[in-house]
Structure 1
Amino acid sequence: MHNNNNDLTLSAPLSGPVLPLHSVPDPVFASGAMGDGVAIDPLNDTLHAPCAGQVIQIARTGHAVTLRAANGAEWLLHLGLDTVELQGEGFALLVEQGQQVSAGQPLLRVDLDHVAQHCRSLISLMILTNGEHFELRHLNLSSVKVGEPLLHVSRRTDAPRPERSRADSSEQASALIRVAHRGGLHARPAALVRQTAAAFNSHSQLTFNDKSAPCTSLIALMGLGIGEQDEVRVSCQGDDCQAALQALLKTLGSALADDAHAPAPAALQVPRPASEDGVLQGVCAAPGLVCGPLVRLSAMELPEDSGQHQPESQRLALSTALEQVRGDILRTLEQARQRRDQQEQDIFNAHLGLLEDPTLLDAADAAIVQGRAATHAWSAAIAEQCQILQQLGNPLLAERANDLRDLQQRVLRALLGEAWQYQLPPGALVATQELTPSDLLQLSAQGVAGLCMAAGGATSHVAILARGKGLPCLVALGPVLLEIEGGQTVVLDADGGRLELAPDPQRIAQVQEAVAARRQRREQQRQQARDPALTRDGQPIEVAANVASSAEARDAHQGGADGVGLLRTEFLFVDRQTAPDEAEQRQAYQAVLDAMGDKPVIIRTIDVGGDKQLDYLPLPVEANPVLGLRGIRLAQARPELMDQQLRALLQVSPVQRCRVMLPMVTEVAELLHIRQRLNQLATELGLTQQPELGVMIEVPAAALMAEHLAKHADFLSIGTNDLSQYTLAMDRDHAGLAARVDALHPALLRLIAQTCSGAERHGRWVGVCGALASDPLATPVLIGLGVRELSVSPPQVGEIKDRVRQLDAAECRRLSQPLLDLPGAVAVREACARHWPLNP
């Protein structure tokens, strides 16, 4: 939509969740080196034009398109990360360079499944590449659909700043260089070239195949079509031309760091063989490392069909088989409900719906009427629907064809009377074309150790179930998997995306030792998770759990948690059109208290704003939301929301087990105001008892004021995630800074120590509910500084309790103080590893 010649509102080119640019897992995009913009994690397979304009550049490998709008803004639309390496596979261009397009016109179609399996991420970018002439305003959306407003751009009305003279000097320098970047000079390396050139006065340009482009123009650089190892000439003119030339040669000749593959979890990191011979590469659908005998599963084959069957007998046979399978699915659903496994329930509820689909049943019945056997009629009906789904061009629908094949096999087994039980040796690694969800449940029950599929996707129902069962799973290994002889011992390294077909005895021993040690530790920790966590010298440490629902609280209680250290009440407020009323809130909080037996529950009041937005609570657009209206500040701006929540919390029973915690507090007055409101609301409700009231320490101001806050609060709990980013001035969601936002930084430790010291003066206890509490390397430091409660992710309760029991609190106090004087987080971690080594 045009407002005038200069202003433009751009619509979403894709549907899906919207991400701020700084959270994109790619340092070049995240740093803004290419320009400002936005990212979308796509749910659809077609890229649309966000505005009318001209296609001025198409990536050589077809994964990106650049449009110039009528107001001159140039927009790079980039599908996925590192997709240049696909060399065009999975992309279908729908426009040509130079073509005029209208707003909403399809530009590019992508095979989401193929690209997801072969590139780092599907996250797609919309970047303003000539932002120096424009102002960009974000609409701060959490998700969009194609065609919905997304960004507003307007041309700057102020005169551009005079540029430095780049070519006043007659000095020139040039040289040839082969481009080292994988995929050539696509968007990311081109942005680095532009950034490098901008640091010098000299005018610089690249020449390739008799075409030249100034290094200051991203579009022109990409338009040269330079591939990997192509030789280009770099020319610089100006008083610093030699320095500019050397910097550009270094940028062009140094490949971008490949950070696509994260290392395996530390507990299972063992040396890998140096040679890559005998290794199949796949896609990790569920993490893990395991070795064992490879067993191939073959698809069921039907006997020949004479086509001379009596329809009534075949109808009866099919009806009986369908009823049997329906009963099996209902039993599976009930078991999933008892385990509160919502994902498994969703999958098999979908199967139940497919089983009753009239299209399938009618097609099978029509074939039976023609004299076909029930087995072949059912198979043909399923095959027809699978073909239809796969021809729609939607990878997500095509993936659902696997659910239909699952029903095909289940019903055929019932018709043929075949026992649904594979003959497998203990600890087998199953290799097959593609597993179905019911196959996976059966194999899991039989004790398989891992799964390998020639096909399949990392987002399939089977992948979801495998992750839930803790079964390492590799998909997309290719048809060569099915040619491997069964019975041989292999190593499945799902974390590294590798199936090692010929591991030597040393490698097998390494993997077995790592797996056995981890299994033994986890089982011991699980058995002792309900026992108190006492240090060797008798200091009790409460190990609680961070949860977001009554179901998670129930799991935490069963897993041995000493309480809930943080209930995130946002789960009640998000993904809905209206706010929950008082009755709904009271019921939800009561359910969490009930789930925790006689254990205490800390309930954090609503913490939205910043990166958490509510559709029904429009907040003003803020230049820096994490420093804006969020946490307790929102409660001050919308007191009716806080009053409603406080009334609900006052009415839970028993109220003595409920503790209320306030987020983002920076001064005593905020705490006193809520204390006063609690008193007033309790009087209005005729209540004589109130919950304890605590403060979350997550900004430096609160840590520095801890002694004053502790005078009026019943407890303090440190949120190390926000405290880290506010203390270090680093966005914790910034991809390029993630490794440096470390809560074991000495500055953070000083704030934790000051918080504990201030609380102790008033006899208050201090907990930690941020991610640092779940880090076993940090456990002794936190205990040593005075923390008495650690609230962790529910699966880690047993592990952290086990860690506490290995420690001596007095020694922790003695060794923790010197850590505050170390130069940085790396030094602290090294010292912790020396003083309190983790189990190997």
Structure 2
Amino acid sequence: MAETSETLLLRAPLSGVLLPLAAVPDPVFADGMFGDGLGIDPLSDTVVAPCDGIVVHLAATGHALTLQAPCGAQVLVHVGVDTVLLRGEGFAPCVAQGDAVRQGDALIRFDLDRVARQARSLVTVMALANGNAFTVAGRTDALRAEAGRTVVLKVRAVAGAASAASAGAAAPACQADGTGPAALRRTVTLACAGGLHARPAARARAAMQGLDATVALHYGGRHASLASLVALLALAAGEGATVELVASGRDASAALEAVARELQRTAAGEEQAAPAAGAAPASVGTSALTGTSGELPPGCIGGVAAAPGIAIGVLHWWREATPEPHEAGQGMEAERAALRAALAAVDARLAHDSEAASARGARAEAGIFAMHRALLEDPALLGAADTLIDAGKSAGFAWREATGAEAAVLSAMADRRAAERAADLLDLGKRVLRALAGNAAADVSVDMPTVMPTDADGQPVVLAADEFTPSDLTGLDCDRVAALAMVRGGPTSHAAIIARQLGIPCLVALGSALERLPDGTPVIVDGDNARLHASPDAHLLAAVASAVRLRTQRRQADLHAAHAAATTRDGVRIEVAANIGSVDDARNAVAHGADAVGLLRTELLFLHGDAAPAAADHTAACQAIAEALGGRSAIVRTLDIGGDKDAAWLRLPAEDNPALGLRGVRLAQVRPQLLDEQLRGLLAVRARAPLRILLPMVSEVGELLHWRARIRALAAAAGHDADADAQIEVGVMIEVPAAALLADQLAEHADFFSIGTNDLTQYTLAMDRCQPELAARMDALHPAVLRMIAATTEGAARHGRWVGVCGALAGDPLAVPVLLGLGVTELSVDAGLVPGIKARVRTLSLADCRQRAAGLLQLPSAAAVRDACRHYWPA
């Protein structure tokens, strides 16, 4: 934006993320009552002059000031929301009222941490105070700004404003000094918290819009017209001050009443401000959405979050269209041929869907479809169906009965994995029935135009069902479906996995309250706080829409800066790595700015194979990943199969409680060759950066010593130097409470620790992390889990070892300051989260995190920890 003699270029007064004015969490600013401008979520602590000018107003509390540029434009800079209530604490003005300043000069310095902890929001506003005479003629498209450098607004004088002002001055109206015809007077006491600051001044002016009247305010021997916000602010009338209002004009009485009402509004009478956009991790983070103390607001349905995010849409019930087969067949040969043709059609479609999912990096989704293909070939199912066909039944009836009977057997089993296979069988049954009905191409996948409403306004849809299956979601139109909502289901269901991979918010276990909502109900799906808001009011809709827009802008800004280091404000670098499971994941991690790979889940490379991987398979897979990383280091976890991860080729013995059974390094008890082959394969990889080995499910020092010795022996057999053990870094995955409590012993022999918070939480709290009914209570910020993390970092520190976190907690922005404060120096998250976590680290002071983290261990619950985190470190 080039400057001309007719325009004024305003540069960013702070470094930070740029926001539209509508996203500012204060309706007075967001609705433009004060004037046009923009918001900045600050990353710096010094306000600089956006242009040359005179300081015509400086708040006594130091949180705001107004510059008047040579052209006459008056520019307000207001740091944070409700910061007037801090009464100057944390603010240090660098100028005085009446000072002349140059663009870039320091105006106000403030304690970023202190203000962030005490104020409702740090979002800072820059707005035109005299918008009647000047207008914003241009805006930057940038997402981030650098203080004093980035031009963010272009301001131009309004044509004829000067003459209009002159005409107004000549009119027979009340003058600012109270003289003039028909003046009405009224004395009021300022009840607004903080006195006559920007918000009440703007509201008072807005209150008389549309009335034929002029109003002036007298205080302390001075006076100001309500037409001039700067003049009102310069009166410096504090809370409890007695002021005189003078009004004239045809509507003088009404104007006097309206202005007086605004100035006498108490804090209790304040309107609810819009939510602080982007506050809290992936959550809007406001009482308007979440309620207080876990209490559900009116019209809110609680459920379980299966996929994060926030979305607004119109509820549309999914009406399943599975054909009802005839029982009687048309002859044994014809029915057998029809079944084989339908099975072939479904298999082809599943192969296509699996390849498409793999191509976009959705390995979990691809694995689901691959597993469904394997079920199609199950001889027991085919045999049962053929027996019914031989008895005169139709192919559809026979297949439905065969899959239904097998699903009933699996559902009755205590093993959770068996129950999940039951759901897969029923889903497969629907696919084949659709194919038998003659619509293999269209009905096997979701034909969205036939199941979606055709709203003229094109509103996004929240798709609801009793429970979705993978076939329901194949081909889902993500441009039209904003979120998913289910009456039943769990967060580990295959439908939930697909929703997460598609990036669609998903709620499950919403119960009968969801069933009572009719088609067309406007809803907000809050996948971060596990709530659905039915028929929200206009205020909540506007607040959430603003938060969603802000999230999009922040994601773009974070991605732009993703390849820069994540360094705290006091200069400590934190490594932000990625969790991956394939070479495609590795490329995605690099693209998203990951510093390294903090967890390579090697079991995902081979989970759906036909046979156990040999050493050469491990070498080939890990070599390709190492090359894709372009010189970045990687932590390679040895096969962690068992529990909720099963491989057909492994044939583990049945276990009543697989989560406590043959998992991780314990597999060597029944399949020692399996881990030996993997270690041989890893030792053969040639990488430009360290390839570290991570051992899962270690619970005592003897296990670690055994595997270190085994690695040394295998390295020697492969011809490595005798010093190979010293060159190969071996770490322990801290996921068993015993390992956390023995961290000081383990650290003597381990090179590093990586904390798996998902399993550590379930074992510490004795809650199955795959149990839907307990999902809402499975919070890794529970003080007991935090004490396990603290024990780990303290034990590691005794031997100079570093500690990372590779569990889901590392990707929770609210938890990041806690982890850093407890001594964690590496965070490993899903690749898509890397930019946001890096941005979060850059806002933090490590010294502050350390000071506050220890106190969180004394709190009584995870909810209390989260509340404290929101207060200490607003996101």
Compute the TM-score of the two structures, normalised by the length of structure 1: 0.48
Max Rg structure: 2
